[in-house]
Amino acid sequence: MAIIEIEKEIQVKSSDRVRNHGEVLTARREVEAMLDLVKNESERIDSRFLEPACGDGNFLVAILERKLKTVVSRYKTKKADFEVQMLSAISCIYGIDLLQDNIELAIERLFKIACDCYKQTLKSAPDEEFQNALKHILRKNIIQGDSLNGIDKIIFTQWTLVGYQFKREEYSFSQLNQQAEVLNTPLFASLVNEKGEDVYIPQPINDYPLIYYRSLGGLK
Ligand SMILES: C[S@@+](CC[C@H](N)C(=O)[O-])C[C@H]1O[C@@H](n2cnc3c(N)ncnc32)[C@H](O)[C@@H]1O
């Protein structure tokens, strides 16, 4: 008999956490209904999502599951393609939360979903090198921070898939979030759109050479 593990749905962990951090987690049904409003984007492997108060990951988990369905349907027959597309899906999901225990849980849940999907699809567990690549991306994307008052300290990596390699560029959250306030800084290049209006593109604070997807786990 197959044992199906169903996560218990907990919306309130303690009254202290509700009082101190407003932590009331969204139920799966509402998460799915909200994601259905952006159905195509939620299912697209390389659409980027950021949850600035992600809790223990209820939205992130549902987004990953949707993206992985697409990965499985398109790439299940070739291991390298499946692996790199799975990493691409994960690399487009970002989360911030004030509470470190939520971050740890969110990472754990996303990691487990990815590993379970890998096992079910390729009929073997991911090896250590691939697991480390998954963990590396998750640790860079799902981070503890204050998304209201601490955005200068939050650094995100933008991952761009180029064949079987990733390009990594780092941006501060304040760059991405407060575009209006930084329009006049030298960090921002001014370009003109098709209507002749200025558009401003943030410049990365760091960028790195292309790296083979399986080598990501070896990075700091
Ligand atoms: C209402 S819960 C929602 C969690 C999750 N988005 C969900 O729907 O299940 C709010 C979350 O925001 C976090 N939070 C509160 N203030 C925050 C801040 N300034 N920056 C980042 N996270 C914050 C809390 O720790 C809590 O996990």
pLDDT 10s digits, 29-66:
999 999 999 999 999 999 999 999 999 999 999 999 99
How much is the mean pLDDT over the chain?
Answer: 89
Q: Are 138 and 112 in contact (CB under 8 A)?
A: no
- Sign of the Cα torsion 166, 163, 142, 36 reads positive
Any ligand 1 atom below 6 A from CB of 56: no
Distance CA 129, CA 117 (A): 17
Using 50, 70 and 90 to split pLDDT, how confident is the model at 194?
low
In a domain, 75, yes or no: yes
In a domain, 197, yes or no: no
Distance CA 102, CA 118 (A): 24
Report the chain's terminal Cα–Cα distance, integer Å.
Answer: 42
CA within 13 Å, CB half, 152: 3
Report the number of distinct structural domains present in the chain. 1
Question: Could you tell me which residues are beta bridge partners of residue 166?
Answer: 161, 211
Candidate from 13, 17, 18, 21 with most ligand 1 atoms within 8 A of CB, to mutate: 21
Please tell me which of 10-24, 167-181, 183-197 the model is most confident about, judged by mean pLDDT. Answer: 10-24
In a domain, 49, yes or no: yes
The burial of 14, by beta-carbon neighbours within 10 Å (0-12 exposed, 13-18 middle, 19 or more buried), is given as exposed
In a domain, 64, yes or no: yes
Span 131-136, average pLDDT: 98
Any ligand 1 atom below 6 A from CB of 54: yes
In a domain, 122, yes or no: yes
Span 101-119, average pLDDT: 98
In a domain, 186, yes or no: no
Distance CA 145, CA 108 (A): 18
In a domain, 165, yes or no: no
Q: Is the pLDDT of residue 23 over 60?
A: yes
Using 50, 70 and 90 to split pLDDT, how confident is the model at 104?
very high
The predicted pLDDT at position 200 comes to: 65
The predicted pLDDT at position 10 comes to: 87
Any ligand 1 atom below 6 A from CB of 57: no
In a domain, 193, yes or no: no
Distance CA 70, CA 76 (A): 10
Q: How many CB atoms lie within 10 A of CB 85?
A: 23
The burial of 50, by beta-carbon neighbours within 10 Å (0-12 exposed, 13-18 middle, 19 or more buried), is given as middle
Domain that holds residue 140: 15-153+209-218
Any ligand 1 atom below 6 A from CB of 100: no
